[in-house]
């Protein structure tokens, strides 16, 4: 059996914390700000804006944080994400990931 290094385990845990499971109920409360573009249930009526419902949780969290930190840029999403904490991103991601398209 192959041994896993402690450094590898710590790196995986750190990644999980940054983009890990959030609180979907808290995300739902925060999601009102997203509804104007992405729809109340995470399904956009405008093809310019992506559906968020059913996306992978880690992906959504990572993208929200990228918009907030400026590593991904968009004139609308940057300011929308600017005030979100890592927990907010995780919670929003958990909420939208739990919805179906």
- Show pLDDT as tens, one digit a residue, over the chain (101 residues): 556 666 654 554 444 444 458 999 999 999 999 999 999 999 999 999 999 999 999 999 999 999 999 999 999 999 999 999 999 999 999 999 999 98
Q: Output the CA angle 84-86-90, nearest 5 degrees.
A: 100
CATH of domain 6-97: 1.10.760.10
Domain boundaries, the chain: 6-97
Dihedral-angle region of residue 77 (phi above 0 means left; psi in -120 to 50 means alpha; beta otherwise)? alpha
Dihedral-angle region of residue 20 (phi above 0 means left; psi in -120 to 50 means alpha; beta otherwise)? beta
Give the residue from 15, 11, 30 showing the smallest Cα distance to 93: 30
Query: For the whole model, what pTM was predicted?
Result: 0.80
């Amino acid at each position: 059996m192959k041994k896993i290094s402690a450094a590898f385990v710590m790196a995986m845990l750190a990644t999980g914390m940054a983009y890990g499971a959030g609180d979907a109920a808290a995300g739902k409360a925060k999601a009102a700000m997203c509804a104007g573009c992405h729809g109340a249930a995470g399904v956009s009526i405008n093809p310019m804006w992506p559906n968020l419902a059913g996306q992978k949780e880690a992906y959504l969290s990572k993208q929200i944080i990228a918009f907030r930190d400026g590593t991904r840029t968009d004139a609308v999403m940057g300011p929308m994400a600017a005030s979100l904490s890592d927990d907010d991103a995780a919670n929003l991601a958990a909420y939208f990931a739990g919805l179906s398209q």
